[in-house]
Amino acid sequence: MNWTATAVALLQVLVATLVAPLVIGITRQTRARLEGRVGAGILQPWRDLRKLLRKETLQANGVSWISSIGPIVVMASSLLVAALLPLISTVALPFVPDDLFVVVSVLLIGTVAVALIGLDVGSAFGGMGSSRHMMIAALVEPTVLVAVYALSIPAGSSLLSSIVATRLDAPAVILSPVSLLAVVALFVAVLAETGRLPVDNPSTHLELTMVHEAMILESSGRDLAWLELGSWLRLSALLGLVANLMIPWGLATDATVLALVVGTIALLLKLTVFAAALGAGEVFLAKLRLFRVPELLAGSFVLAFLAVTASYLVT
């Protein structure tokens, strides 16, 4: 059991890492097509990564070790999240619970590392991005935890694998008001956590609006490659989680080869659909003013809280 679980986790990490740039590629390509552009193709993020890994890494004078270690920490935290979440299979690692609190904390390690990288250079933009980024991260956390609290009440456990497995066993749960409200709240939180529209515009470099881009402005070469891949991986993993919460079918419940192959294919399909939908959705959205973001997050918090309340009222 120990080794199969480890193998499953490795498979998840591998698949998620390979797919993450493609998910971004699909999102960008969908958006480009809908906006009447040709687009760079869904492989472009992979090409970017290859280019960045081959380039020289520049570093500002007088920065601390955070600037060199930080990108690796970001990448490792994203990989760890991919290993922990039930993406392909509900077989969880022994001793390392895919408890929601653990997953969120691991994500936050990445969040903190990026924020510190932003501050380390000592430029005005880095600090600005870091400050905004942390404000959003702080306000997202109540939504995430309360939403998963609501999801965990029917399952009687905060382990994401058991929550997803419960939904696989009793699909009626998925359409219950509790689950719908909680998943919508969680989805908004995921958008905020991964810096997508309407919270942050990943394709902007306009000083007044950028959040994530401002922090990694001074990174280059492999540092930038890790930061980019880390954030893409985080998006893919969290999208995969939301997808599995909404459409749990296809997920492997044991570690047989066939189930894992089916699980991988199902994950790829779900991610393709979700990435395309995300890209299409972003065409119709504008970035919110920074100080309207708390209102959006408060709204999603209310949804999550309603979900908890509903879980007591509706069986």
Looking only at residues 205 through 224 of this chain, which bind other proteins when binding is defined by CB under 8 A? 207, 217-222
Q: How far is the CB of 36 from other proteins (least distance, A)?
A: 30
CB neighbour burial string for 266-304, b if at least 16 within 10 angstroms, e if fewer = bbbebbeebbbebbebbeeeebbeeeebeebbeebbebb
Nearest to 147 by CA among 193, 189, 85, 194: 189
C-alpha to C-alpha distance for 289 and 276, rounded to whole angstroms? 25
- The answer to whether 130 contacts other proteins (rule: CB under 8 A) is yes
Which residues, listed in sequence order, are joined to residue 252 by a DSSP beta bridge? 89
**HSE (CB half, 13 Å, CA atoms) of 51?**
8
Considering only 22, 85, 128, 278, the residue that binds other proteins (CB under 8 A) is 128
- The answer to whether 122 contacts other proteins (rule: CB under 8 A) is yes
Q: How far is the CB of 158 from other proteins (least distance, A)?
A: 5
Considering only 15, 45, 166, 226, the residue that binds other proteins (CB under 8 A) is 226
Subset of residues 157 to 216 that bind other proteins, contact rule: CB under 8 A = 157-158, 207
Query: Residues 92, 230, 45, 282: what is their CA dihedral angle, to the nearest 10 degrees?
Result: 90
- The answer to whether 272 contacts other proteins (rule: CB under 8 A) is no
- The answer to whether 119 contacts other proteins (rule: CB under 8 A) is yes
Subset of residues 70 to 109 that bind other proteins, contact rule: CB under 8 A = 72-73, 75-77, 79-80, 83, 93-97, 99, 101-102, 105-106, 108-109
- The answer to whether 4 contacts other proteins (rule: CB under 8 A) is no
Subset of residues 285 to 304 that bind other proteins, contact rule: CB under 8 A = 290-291, 294, 301
Tokens of 36: 């009447």
Nearest to 188 by CA among 285, 91, 72: 285
Residue 229 vs 251, nearer CB to other proteins:
229
Beta carbons within 10 angstroms of residue 79's beta carbon: 22
- The answer to whether 21 contacts other proteins (rule: CB under 8 A) is no
Considering only 91, 121, 163, 191, the residue that binds other proteins (CB under 8 A) is 121
